[in-house]
Amino acid sequence: MSETALSILIWLHVIGVAVWLGGQIITAAAVIPTLRAAGDREFWLSALEGFTRRFGRIGIAAMVIIVVTGGAMIDPRLDQAENFGASIYDARWGIIFVTKMGLWAAMIAVIGLHQFVFGPRQLELARQAAAAGAAGDSAELVRVRRLTIMLSVVGLLLTLLVAGAGAFLGNHNFSMNAV
């Protein structure tokens, strides 16, 4: 693969990463606090539902770009790593790459649980509480909210670790060396 094609793949990979990581930070630090401060619970729940649906689609599109471009870069980089031995683990690049893929799988599992299981459950419970005009939150809502917050913090930390592994991979003065 030509260096121009590789540079274009890195460009697209990093744009996908910017959307994926930036979206998580903006959501937690700006969107959710702003909606919660809007006061009326019915209003902010509807707004949050609409936001998470659209944000989910953008996140999936960004992850498809990340996986396709990242996948296309594996072969040429493996060719370079083979200079250090027949096994992928003979070069630092291989060890960092395998670690990155493990962290990536954990990140997808954690963010998937948040996005598709506990996030929707929290919204549903909050809606029921709002419809019933309940003064306080049910014990289940409090438990599910704690879980979704924990999942989003762990998901963000894993995302940062995957990005860090990518940075070490991309620095070939460091990664393209024998272990």
Cα distance between residue 92 and residue 168, in whole Å: 10
User: Are the C-beta atoms of 119 and 28 separated by less than 8 Å?
Assistant: no
Shortest Cβ 96–ligand HEM spacing (Å): 9
**Between residue 68 and residue 97, which ones bind ligand HEM under the rule CB under 6 A?**
70-71, 73-74, 77
User: Are the C-beta atoms of 109 and 154 separated by less than 8 Å?
Assistant: no
Taking phi first (over 0 means left), then psi (-120 to 50 degrees means alpha), and beta for anything else, what does residue 2 get?
beta
**Between residue 137 and residue 166, which ones bind ligand HEM under the rule CB under 6 A?**
159, 162-163, 166
- Closer to ligand HEM by CB, 66 or 110: give it: 66
Among 12, 32, 65, 67, indicate the residue that binds ligand HEM (CB under 6 A): 67
- Closer to ligand HEM by CB, 45 or 160: give it: 160
List, in order, residues 6 or more apart from 105 with CB less than 8 Å away: none
φ, ψ at 99 (rounded to 5°): -60, -45
For binding to ligand HEM (CB under 6 A), which residues are involved?
10, 13-14, 17, 20-21, 66-67, 70-71, 73-74, 77, 104, 159, 162-163, 166-167, 169-170
